[in-house]
Amino acid sequence: MKRKICIIILTVFMLLFNNAVFADEFEEDDDIIDAEEVQKEILQTVAEPSKELNLNSKAVVVIDRESKKILYGKNENDRRAMASTTKIMTCIIALESSKLDETIVVSKQAAAVGGSRLGLSAGDKITMIDLLYGLMLCSGNDAAAQIAQTIGGSYEGFSILMNSKAKEIGLKETHFVTPHGLDNDEHYTTAYELALLTDYALNNQKFKQIVGTKTKSILINGYQKNINNTNELLGVLNGVNGVKTGFTNNAGRCLVVSCVRNDMNLISVVLGADTKRFRTKDSIKVLEYAFANYSQIDLKERINKTFKEWKSQNSVEIIKGKEQFIAPQIEQILFDKYPVKKGKEEDIKIKIECQKALEAPVFKDTQIGTAEIYIGNEKILELKLTLPHTIYKKEPEDYWYSIWKTFKTIQWRVSPNGTHLLQQ
C-alpha cells in the first residue's frame, strides 16, 4: 500500500514538474477561443473605439512598421519572458544561414524535447523548410531544437548566433539562451524590441510566407502531415498576416501580430496575458485602437517641400572661399509616411535654423544647421543640414585672376578724341 502511495505521489510530482518546465503552447480546454468568439470580440471592440483601453497583458505595444513609431504602449520597455515568440529569431537565423531543401535526420536530443511538438522521432527525415513550418505554425519545440543543433551544433552555439543577430538589429534589452523559449531567467526581451525583431523578420519574404500560412501539409519520412497555425487572429481579424503565439508558465500568454490595412502596416505584441482569451482581446483592442485613431501623412514630401522653399530664399556665405555662396542639403529620413493622430494631420511645423556665414575652407557633410519637425508641441524628428561639397579658400592669385578675367570679358572702344578707352 505504501509503495502504491509513493508511486502515485512520484507520478503527480513528475507531471507537475514537466508542466512547469515544458508548458508551452498547450491550450487548456476551458481556454479555447474559436473564430466565432474572436469575431464577437472584434465587433465589440470596433463598436467602442473611444473606450479607454483596459488591458490584462503585462506588457503591450503596437508600432507602425515604416516609422517604428509607438502608437500605443504599456510597459513596453520592461524585460519579460517571451516563450515561443522566441521562434521568430530561430526562424530568421535558419532562413539566413541554411539550405531550405536540405534533408535533416532528427537527433534523439531534439526528439526528446517536451512542450508543444511537431511530433518528431529520432531518425526521422525532414527538410529544413518543413522544420520551419513546424516551428512557426504548430510551434514545435522539437523542430526548434533540431534547427539549433543543425545550424549551431548546440543550444549554446545557436544562442551565439541569435544574440549576434539581436545586436545587429539594435536590440539592447534582449537575450537568448534557447531556440524554443522554454523558461530560463537569462532568456528575455521587451515588447518593443520583440516588435522590432518581428519587423526585421517580415522583410524576409520566405518568413512572411511561412507565418502567413494557416494550414500546411509537410513531409516526415516521405509521409504527409497536416499542421495548423496556432495564431487565432490569422484569417479572422481584417488585415492580419502573421506572426507567432507563445505560452509558458512564467511568460503567460503571448501573441505577436502583423496587420496591414490600406496604407498602415502595424505590429502588435502582447506579453504576459493571463489567458488566451485575454491575449486575443488585448491584441484586437490595441490594433483597432491604432487604426481608429491614426492616419498616415507623407512626411517626407512635406519636409522636402518646406526645405525647398526655404532654400530658395536662403544661402550660406562662404567668406574668402572659391565660391561665394552655397545652399545646404537636408538629411534624408528613412521613411516616407508617418502616423499622426486623426485631426492633427495639418498640425505639422518645420523649424529650420542654419548658419548664415562660414569662412573657407569648409568641408563636405559638415553640419551647419538643423530642421526640427513638430506635431503640435511634440518634436518628432530632427534632421541635419550639411554642406553638399567642399569649398576651399581662395588663394591670393585667384583675386588677380578674377580681375584679369573681368577685364578681359569687357568690350572696349576708343574715345572720340582718342585719349582714353571707353567700356561698351
Sign of the dihedral through C-alpha 55, 56, 58, 61:
negative
Contact indicator for 369, 382 with CB cutoff of 8 Å: no
Distance CA 190, CA 38 (A): 26
CA–CA dist 180, 164 (Å, integer): 17
User: Are the C-beta atoms of residues 369 and 297 closer than 8 Å to each other?
Assistant: no
Whether the CB-CB separation of 156 and 137 falls below 8 Å is answered with no
What lies within 8 Å, CB to CB, of 101 at 6+ separation is 127, 128, 129
Pick from 81, 62, 80, 82: nearest CA to 72: 62
* Matching residue, cell 549576434: 164
E strand segments, 210-336: 215-220, 223-228, 240-248, 252-261, 264-273, 294-298, 316-319, 325-326, 329-330
Distance, CA of 382 to CA of 369 (rounded, Å): 10
Element (H, E) at 401: helix 396-409
Q: What is the largest CA-CA distance in the chain?
A: 143
Which residue carries 499542421 as its cell? 227
Measured CA to CA, the distance from residue 150 to residue 20 in angstroms comes to: 27
Tell me, rounded to whole angstroms, the distance of Cα 70 from its chain centroid: 11
The arrangement of strands across the sheet holding 357-359 comes to 325-326, 316-319, 357-359
Residue 236 has which C-alpha cell?
479572422
Catalytic residue IDs: 84, 87, 139
- Locate cell 508543444: which residue? 116
Compute φ and ψ for 286, nearest 5 degrees.
-70, -35
